[in-house]
Amino acid sequence: MSVSADDFRSALSRFPSGVTVVTTKDADGRPHGITVSAFCSVSLTPPLVLICIEKTTASHDAFSESGVFVVNVLKASHQHISEQFAAPAVDKFDTLSFRPGIDGVPVLIDALASIECRLQHAYDGGDHTIFVGKVEHVTTGQGTPLIYHQAEYKKINS
């Protein structure tokens, strides 16, 4: 039995997830970043996380080649940041405040959490690449997370 892409996407949209902006830099030192919801922890010892990036994404090669990346967990007030990094713009970093993280990769200053990683493995995942990173440094902030559920941004009511 075959599952259509639309049916699969519809089923997956029922699962709420946090929203992240994942950043890296290319060989020329230019920053790259994309909105990613396919992120999770893999192991506590050693500390490992994974992200999944579509192979056709303009920044895919930068993530493959850089060897480092930062997962910036977005706050409920960061919907505009998620939308900015989901768009195919070249000036995504111009209007936001970042600090240099691991090997100079941009870390969003106002993130709910930032997880700086060194790439350990990259696996084929169909139309995506699964990147596993060893966590080198974490920063945490205050607030509630931005959530994506059934193709809409949502906030947790506390």
**CATH code at 136?**
2.30.110.10
Percent with pLDDT over 70 in the chain: 99
Do 65 and 78 contact (CB within 8 A), yes or no?
A: no
Q: In the chain, how many domains are there?
A: 1
How far is 105 from 32, CA to CA, in rounded Å? 9
| pLDDT of 65 above 80 | yes
What are the Cα distances from residue 84, in Å, to 37, 42, 49, 103? 14, 28, 24, 24
Q: How confident is the model at residue 95 (pLDDT cuts 50, 70, 90)?
A: confident
Q: How confident is the model at residue 158 (pLDDT cuts 50, 70, 90)?
A: low
Structure tokens at 137: 């440094």
Residue with tokens 């967990």: 73
Do 81 and 1 contact (CB within 8 A), yes or no?
A: no
For residue 77, the enclosing domain spans 5-11+19-155
